[in-house]
A and B are shown apart, each in its own frame.
Chain A
Amino acid sequence: MASSRLVHEPEATMPSGSAEARRTGFAYQARAWLLAAPFLAPALLFYILFMLVPMVGTLALGFTEWTGFNFADIRFVGFDNFAEMREDPIFWLSLRHNLVFLVGAITLKTLVALLLALALDQRIPFSNLFRGVFLMPTVISLVVVGIVFRLALSPSLGLVNPFFNAIGLPFLGGDWLGDPNRVLPVIILVDTWHGFGLYMFLFISRLVSISPELHEAAFVDGANLRQDIWHITLPLLKPTIAMVLLLAAIDSLKIFAHVYIMTRGGPSHASEVLSSWAYFQAFTANKVGYGNAILIVLLVITFILAYIQVTRFQPKEEY
């Protein structure tokens, strides 16, 4: 490859190990950094200020007791906050909700995105239009989606129950966000509606890169559409599916805005998740340390998932 030849050429001509070579190497590095630094600095600065510093702050505060009113009152308490979690039933309830949400949302998002991507890959009429339509929810603000669905689902003034009444299915109506048994599935559906479009596009971008010759060869060998999808398309989509599963999982663990806007974790904690419970503890109950400790648990779970994906589900071969 041309680029690797360019990289290796000077190395071959450089008198390896000599003082002159080292000086020249340092000079190259220094000049390269000088060139790169101005371009890297703005992004790096933002990353450090708004990502690393808060993350380190979260980690540190998780081991403290603090009401949040005066920095002078911060007190180191070791692992007390984590010990408190063991006795906190709402923490465990929230963790369970997070796991239900994780399984529900990634299953639905991946399935819906995959099925629609496969359908739109079949050259159906208006497929480009549908791609745009399905992507639209993704670009809408989380807060706007939450508010719109909260209003639409309201049993008092919303649109959903009158719709079911109008089509003769009144038994399907009810208090969508006020029924403890119904609220979590409803939020999962809203989150799926909001998020599947992006994953559908990831699948489509992989599908268009699969060589048509592979499909043609399969059809020449007598395969039907189902067999083509099962034996050709899906195996080639495996790396993308793995990536989508990871992204959807991280997305689901981060769930906050939909819950906060639509239900605030209610009714009576029925839709509470770790992030909303951490927010309540830190900003309402004035237990900043405990709230941060909950977020550390969430962070660890997310890292574990990312690690598993990175180490176990990397593609071994590429076509």
Chain B
Amino acid sequence: MKTYPYAKGISPTLQVISLAILLTLLVTACSPTAPTQATQPPAATDPAQTGAVQGSGEVSLWTEFTAGGEAAGIEELINTWNGMNNGITINHRPIGNEEFFTVVRTALAGGVPPDVLQFEGYQQTREFAAAGQLEDITDLWNSVKDRFDLADAGEAACTFEGKVYCIPFTFVTGWQIFYNPDILAEHNIEVPTTMEEFLAAAETLKNAGVTPIALGNQAGWPGEHWWMGFLVQRCGVDTVYQAIRMEGASFTDECFVQSAADFQNLAQAGYLSPGAASDDYGLGQAVFESGQAAFFQTGAWYASGWNQPGQTPTPFEISIMPFPRFSDAANQEDVFGAITHVFAVPSGAANKEAALSVLEWLASEEAGNIWAKNGNASVIAGAVDNSAPQVIKDLYNNAKSADKSLPWIENELPPGVGEDKVYNGTVALITGAMTPEEFMQSIQEGLEAAQ
């Protein structure tokens, strides 16, 4: 039998200390969690401003607005609301776009969501709502719907099985290319108005040793933007939706393959920056802003950020042109871009009543004007025209005048298709690892497998 002589030597004092430490640890581990925030007494209420505000206390708000006009806009919105002293205080948590979805999903599954949540609508709405994680706000939406531009598009981004779960907030268009006018002037190039002119300009620049297009497509979505630019003009929005729903069209149809070939031609002709397949979005942007490339395509959010305080000015004045079309393209009307930011109340929100009050205010003219003033294309009717900088007005009105707009296609496809087949496929088109036919075939197969 083993004995433990060293235990014999334990002094009573040491034993008492050990027991005390053990008990302390047990008590600490088993004690109820301390409240993370002390309960705040209701703030002083200004009767003139409370109006229909229901509820009180603190409302937690999570967004992916961490930079540029989005960060400035949400900060002003919150300051404005909190300044009303109506008994409800917004506590904002900005989360970086890269980790936003993971954080939100963890919070929803863990039963600790914020009171108000911003996300990107469409597929995310369907996923969250299907899991029972969003509050049905159909009644609220119907009561504020008339305040919105593009109300049908906004409703589509927020609807699941006939019910509305969020309110639309920002429209982001992709139908533009940012360019460096100094480089064009230096090489006697007119601003292209058609895709033929654009390709001719790219050829001229390449021959002069200038990188025509800055692209950082490591993540796949910046290249997807280019492909979507070709896709809407080759197929049109209706045909793309037919393919997504597998009703009357397929991603292997000729117009889809042609759009992929159009994108791959840019790479094979040597028009893309040398790190197009491996640089991330930020590096692609840096190539453009450092004056090393003439053109840069990205979403309208880029325009909302460059005039913010603290932003390093570029050595040239960035200009914008519409995404050019081939003169023989089948569709001459449709563009791409979508409702990109929506707000919802999670069904597990701790302060639901107050959260709905905040949501209703976010759908107001006042909130829309604040959002637009900070360089964001608010979908509250008249907000962009009344308050947005000219560049945002131009982009927004250009998109509004289009016949139809194709949302970011990954948001309308199952995530395993959009963020795998599409994203990786656009990289493969650049490296030559896939042909246009293989790219479209992989999307079609992925879609069929997901169905």
Contact = CB atoms under 8 A, between A and B. Distances in A.
B7 interface: yes
A10 interface: yes
Contacts of A157: 275, 279, 283, 286-287, 290
Contacts of A280: 419-420
Contact of A35 (B15, B105, B274): B15
Contact of A31 (B7, B216, B425): B7
Nearest to A66: B109
Contacts of A17: 1
Contacts of A32: 4, 6-7, 10
B408 to A, nearest CB: 15
Interface in B261-304: 273-280, 283-284, 286-287, 290, 292
B127 A67 contact: yes
A175 B277 contact: yes
A28 B8 contact: yes
B200 interface: no
A178 B275 contact: yes
Given A35-B10, A37-B18, A69-B128, A268 B283 contact: no
6 contacts: A10-B3, A45-B29, A175-B277, A178-B430, A266-B220, A285-B419
A6 interface: yes
B176 interface: no
Contacts of B15: 31, 34-35
B14 A69 contact: no
Nearest to A269: B424
Nearest to A156: B275
Contacts of A9: 5
B206 to A, nearest CB: 15
Q: Which 8 A-B pairs have the closest CB atoms?
A: A178-B278, A178-B277, A69-B131, A268-B428, A38-B21, A285-B416, A177-B278, A155-B274
Interface in A1-38: 6-7, 9-11, 14, 16-17, 21-22, 24-25, 28-29, 31-32, 34-35, 37-38
Nearest to A183: B278
A159 B153 CA distance: 46
B433 interface: yes
A216 interface: no
Contacts of A14: 1, 3
B416 to A, nearest CB: 4
Interface in A150-195: 150-151, 153-158, 175-180, 183
Interface residues on B, range: 35 or more
B330 interface: no
Nearest to B216: A156
B415 interface: yes
A156 B276 CA distance: 8
A286 B127 contact: yes
Given A10-B3, A10-B5, A68 B109 contact: yes
A72 interface: yes
A38 B278 contact: no
Interface in B6-62: 6-8, 10, 14-15, 18-19, 21-22, 25, 29
B102 interface: yes
Nearest to B274: A155
B131 A283 contact: no
B219 interface: yes
A233 to B, nearest CB: 40
B419 A7 contact: no
A266 B290 CA distance: 26
A155 B414 CA distance: 33
A180 B433 CA distance: 8
Given A67-B127, A68-B105, A69-B128, A28 B7 contact: yes
B283 A156 contact: yes
Given A264-B218, A267-B433, A175 B109 contact: no
Interface string B210-238: 01001010111000000000000000000
A109 interface: no
Given A70-B132, A178-B278, A285-B420, A267 B431 contact: yes
B283 A42 contact: no
